[in-house]
A and B are shown apart, each in its own frame.
Chain A
Amino acid sequence: MTSQINGSAEHAEADASVGLLRLATAGSVDDGKSTLVGRLLHDSKSVLSDQLEAVERVSRDRGMEEADLALLTDGLRAEREQGITIDVAYRYFATAKRRFILADTPGHVQYTRNMVTGASTAELAVVLVDARNGVVEQTRRHAAVAALLRVPHVVLAVNKMDLVDYDESVFAAVADEFTAFARELGVPDVTTIPVSALRGDNVVDPSAHMDWYGGPTLLEFLETVETGGQDEHADGRFPVQYVLRPQSDDEFRDYRGYAGQVASGVFRTGDPVVVLPSGAHSTIEGIDRLGTTVDRAQAGESVTIRLSSDVDVSRGDLIAPAEAAPVATQDIEATVCHVADKPLRPGDRVLLKHTTRTVKAIVKEIPYRVDIQSLERQSSPGELHPNDIAHVVLRTAQPLALDPYAAGRRTGSFLLIDEADGSTLTAGMAGPAFVDQGRRGGETDSATERCL
């Protein structure tokens, strides 16, 4: 352990006003992911001595020379017994500039399902490759999942630069190939960084071996990348979670507020709004943020909106700007990732949970499946199995105010749920899979064309 990591002292400081970044990591143990994650945690003082001692003790018991940093994240008995990571683990670290929530996704079992889960809340994905191997099939799969989930920022960490003599041309070739591929998939922001997680080059501290690289270290980039922009500049969306009516004898006797979290955009007092699916129009009379009246509420804030007129609003409704509201529909075409062991078939009757609304739905058609590695389409797969990515056509019992996932991750996403046992079957994203998917994939048959 100590030979691998020389803890520098950039620490979690007690500054309460720093921002938050949610990120996901992808890559296998062979790429040095555990070492990279371990270094980020350790160098930011997020691994404490009792945790390190436990890892060192178990590693010794198993006859390993070095502390196995994967043990920090492998928390379940089955994981330790089998020496593999089963589930997404969430890790927390902080620097003086920012707090981080890291979804560490395993590379072995249920790979796609886990990375889809981790990427769904991430604003940034770190994809790791071994500089000696360059972009391999798995790298393409990682990039494709990040693109599919519309993670705004993707960082390629080209690791093990020490094993290629810190050669600029090796890095440039890998970086160029990856950047071209990711851009083609529609990833809006791609950054490439040459690192050695083992030696500590460009992870936290700048490398002394790569003068040719003038960019930020990985941690510097994580600390400074712009967050929240995507959601804030989108149209206003406010799914109603709960109606607050104190009905008390005090000043709040006539209070009626709609509680929720702003999914995207900004709402201001005085804004003309429409309530969906009813289509009723009103104006925002006031916004209360957890006890304080404010003049505006932005994406991510949990607030309560009061309307000026007495309209019928309940849980599951959507409040949107009158001039930029989505069209409610019962017919949905979406890209899905199947996550349950139980297959999904055309004709299945399921529950669909979209924002705060759950409705009955029927699977009308599964026109094609997408191979996440080659991005080729396979027509009429019949049924979906765990980790399958596919295009589906659904019909819902009631209209939903759904946005294309490309326009809003929160109002474009949904779950399909088994009505009998309540399990989560499928994760859905309204609209086509990739921004310019028309340029990829081999098939152009009519069934496919119809669903674009």
Chain B
Amino acid sequence: MTTAVELSAPGALSHLDALEAEAVHIFREVAGEFERPVILFSGGKDSIVMLHLARKAFWPAQIPFALLHVDTGHNFPEVIEYRDRTVAEHGLRLFVGHVQEFIDNGRLQERPDGTRNPLQTVPLLDAIEKNRFDAVFGGGRRDEEKARAKERVFSLRDEFGQWDPRRQRPELWNLYNGRHRVGEHVRVFPLSNWTELDVWQYIEREEIPLPEIYFSHEREVFQRSGMWLAPGDWGGPKGDEKLERRVVRYRTVGDMSCTGAVESPAATVAEVIAEIAVSRLTERGATRADDKLSEAAMEDRKREGYF
């Protein structure tokens, strides 16, 4: 125990303190009401912030949850390295579901465009069922996407892992109803009320380390559907797509085949924040091919059990 006592001044909480307190409350509710919760951890910034909040929520005890990563097989090596380092550093337990295994045994088929993000749903639901996870923390935020704007903090999934937006439970005050039947599970979104800017400001305030691909670096990329993609085994570049060196960084981190880099000189958290504050594109609009598939692409994936 530290002996120094910090004097705390009266007054309204800052927005980061209010968002942090709300997220911590959500983590503790789940710890109090569920048997086998798990945190979805991809090594992306939102899941990194989730883990940081969980560690603070249960300090000085260990977090009472394991981590789960659905590995598309098309990962940025820097991100996997970050994931494994974090797990070792904090003595955590990590479950990994592999999309590749499902392709190899025929339960999933590679898509013609090589994108594996939509293929994550089956291994995710499989891992949830096999390990009997009853609460699954996701880093989804309501500001990310229209279908997510109507998502609850506690979101019930049926025994097939499906989301029915018309049968959501009204969520009042800070009373979260996590009751579910055997075989059903609840997705929990502690960052529901955070924006991209809040996440970055919190990363800055808490000095949370991130994988280096979030910051400006020189990289070989090629252009496809208006996005800068990185080459890899996943199937790029093809045909007349040309590799060029560009100074880029990533705003989101997902499957390499559908996560685009943005050209950016922002090399520090403060520079990233300054860049986001004047950006005219949402992070998904700028960097995610999978959301451009249709008007309701995210809703359709969510209904089937996606993150």
Q: Is B88 an interface residue when CB atoms closer than 8 A count as contact?
A: no
* Cβ B28 vs Cβ A260 within 8 A: yes
Count A interface residues, CB 8 Å.
Answer: 90
Which positions 42-100 of chain A face chain B at CB distance < 8 Å? 48-51, 54, 58, 72-78, 80, 86-92, 94, 98-99
Asked whether any CB of chain B lies closer than 8 Å to the CB of A116, the reply is yes
Could you tell me if B60 and A246 are in contact, using CB atoms closer than 8 angstroms?
yes
Q: Which of A13, A49, A89, A241 has the most CB of B within 10 A?
A: A241
A269 CA to B8 CA, complexed, in Å: 12
Task: Tell me whether B173 and A20 are in contact (CB under 8 A).
Answer: no
How far in angstroms is the closest Cβ of chain A from B295?
7
Q: Is the CB of A48 within 8 A of B10?
A: no
CB of B50 to closest CB in A, whole Å:
14
Would you call A242 an interface residue if the criterion is a C-beta within 8 Å of the partner chain's C-beta atoms?
A: yes
A245 interface contact, C-beta 8 A: yes
Compute how far the CA of A318 lies from the CA of B277 in the bound complex, rounded to whole angstroms: 42
Set of chain A residues within 8 Å of B273, measured between Cβ atoms: 14
Q: Which residues of B contact A144 (CB under 8 A)?
A: none
Residue of A nearest to B21 (CB): A302
Residues on A lying within 8 angstroms of B by beta carbon are: 11-14, 16-20, 48-51, 54, 58, 72-78, 80, 86-92, 94, 98-99, 101, 113-114, 116-117, 120-121, 227-228, 232, 241-242, 244-246, 248, 251-252, 255, 259-261, 266, 269, 286, 288-298, 300-302, 304, 315, 339, 351, 353, 355-356, 409-410, 413-415, 417, 421-424, 427
Which A-B residue pairs are the 4 nearest by beta carbons? Answer: A422-B179, A75-B146, A50-B285, A302-B24
Judge whether B15 and A20 touch: CB under 8 Å.
yes
In the complex, which residues 133-184 of chain B have their Cβ closer than 8 Å to any Cβ of chain A?
142-143, 145-150, 156, 165-166, 168-175, 177, 179-181
Binds A, one of B98-106, B197-205, B233-241, B256-264: B197-205
Instruction: State the B residues within 8 Å of A (CB).
Output: 1-8, 10, 12-22, 24-25, 28-29, 31-32, 56-62, 142-143, 145-150, 156, 165-166, 168-175, 177, 179-181, 192-193, 195, 197-198, 201, 204-205, 273-274, 276-282, 285-286, 295-296, 299-300
Cβ contact of A117, chosen from B14, B17, B172, cutoff 8 A: B172
B165 & A78 in contact (Cβ 8 Å cutoff) = yes
CA–CA, A121 to B171, complex, Å?
10
| Residue on B nearest A315 in the bound complex, by CB | B32
Complex contact B32–A356 (CB within 8 A): yes
A259 touches B57 (CB 8 A): yes
Rounded to whole angstroms, the CA-CA distance of A248 and B62 in the bound complex is 9
Given the known interface contacts A78-B166, A290-B56, the answer about A417 and B12 at a Cβ–Cβ threshold of 8 Å is no
Say yes or no: A294 contacts B277, CB within 8 Å: no
For residue B91, give the distance in angstroms from its CB to the closest CB of chain A: 11
- B16's nearest neighbour on chain A, judged by CB, is A16
Q: Tell me the smallest distance from the CB of B169 to a CB of chain A, in Å.
A: 4
Q: Which of B58, B169, B195, B295 contacts A92 (CB 8 A)?
A: B195
Q: How far is the CB of B272 from chain A (nearest CB, A)?
A: 10
Is A117 touching B170 in the complex (CB atoms < 8 A)?
yes
Q: How far is the CA of A101 from the CA of B141 in the complex (A)?
A: 13
Known: A20-B19, A121-B174, A423-B169. A48 touches B282 (CB 8 A): yes
Q: For the complex formed, measure the closest distance between the CB of A20 and the CB atoms of chain B, giving whole angstroms.
A: 4
Complex Cα spacing A345 to B173, Å: 24
Contacts A11-B277, A301-B21, A302-B24 hold; do A18 and B60 have CB atoms under 8 A apart? Answer: no
Offer 21 A-B interface pairs, CB within 8 angstroms, sorted by A. Answer: A12-B197, A48-B281, A49-B280, A50-B286, A75-B146, A76-B165, A76-B296, A90-B142, A94-B197, A244-B60, A246-B60, A259-B57, A261-B174, A290-B57, A293-B1, A298-B10, A302-B28, A304-B59, A339-B170, A353-B175, A422-B156
Find out whether the CB atom of B170 lies under 8 angstroms from the CB atom of A294: no
- CB-CB under 8 A for A13 and B277, given A290-B57, A294-B6, A302-B57: yes
